Chain A
Amino acid sequence: SQQGEEDPQALSIQEGENATMNCSYKTSINNLQWYRQNSGRGLVHLILIRSNEREKHSGRLRVTLDTSKKSSSLLITASRAADTASYFCATLNSGGYQKVTFGIGTKLQVIP
């Protein structure tokens, strides 16, 4: 079963614009991670935010986490054509056996 649900499932923007993707999840988490997948390739870890953090930055990436709403958002600022990819959120559950569960992903297209 998949824990996270990304929204929107597809997003198309112009180069230079900001892209925002959202992720909702169902159970208590230890951390939430975002991954990027270029077509036909493996997933690349982008950023991790712990359950006691609310916001984190890495270069052009900004991640927020609202544990009360069980949701997270990924903002990519000043998008580039090279950002075209699918983006997945993944949650590490808290307590018991630790397992990372992926969402269904957001497909981002950045138009040059």
Chain B
Amino acid sequence: EAGVAQSPRYKIIEKRQSVAFWCNPISGHATLYWYQQILGQGPKLLIQFQNNGVVDDSQLPKDRFSAERLKGVDSTLKIQPAKLEDSAVYLCASSGLRVYYGYTFGSGTRLTVV
């Protein structure tokens, strides 16, 4: 079974620029998650989709972050404009409809804002 695909692997941008990350979950997984992991911390949930609907975006900084999951498959996360504190690894994960068996994570995108 193919894993969760994410791209790009690394990205360096200047503050106030925009950036987008892409995620393709495991085929058939209804639920997709975007996590932000700042160095030395655990992953923090930004947004959770079930199919193409948003289940939880309570910790998404909506003034600068946006995410979509068209057709309930792949997803993009965008930051516009970026701030220095957005430097982090952005992880995408997917699971079946019920999160009883754990998530499958992608390798993540390491974002550096300078």
Contacts and interface: CB of A to CB of B under 8 A. Distances in A.
Interface of A: 2, 4, 30-31, 33, 35, 40-45, 48, 88, 92, 97-105
Interface range on chain B: under 10, 10 to 19, 20 to 34, or 35 or more?
Answer: 20 to 34
Q: Among A4, A45, A101, A103, find the residue whose CB has the most chain B CB atoms closer than 10 A.
A: A45
A31 B100 contact: yes
B78 to A, nearest CB: 20
Nearest to B89: A40
Contacts of B100: 30-31, 48, 92
Interface in B44-64: 44-45, 48, 55-56
Contact of B105 (A4, A43, A99, A105): A43
B99 A104 contact: no
Contacts, number: 59
A42 B102 contact: no
Contact of A45 (B44, B45, B103): B103
A48 B42 CA distance: 18
A43 B91 contact: yes
B108 A88 contact: no
A104 B102 contact: no
Given A88-B42, A88-B43, A104-B42, A45 B104 contact: yes
Contacts of B99: 92, 98, 100
B56 A97 contact: yes
A102 B102 contact: no
Q: Among B91, B93, B101, B103, find the residue whose CB has the most chain A CB atoms closer than 10 A.
A: B103
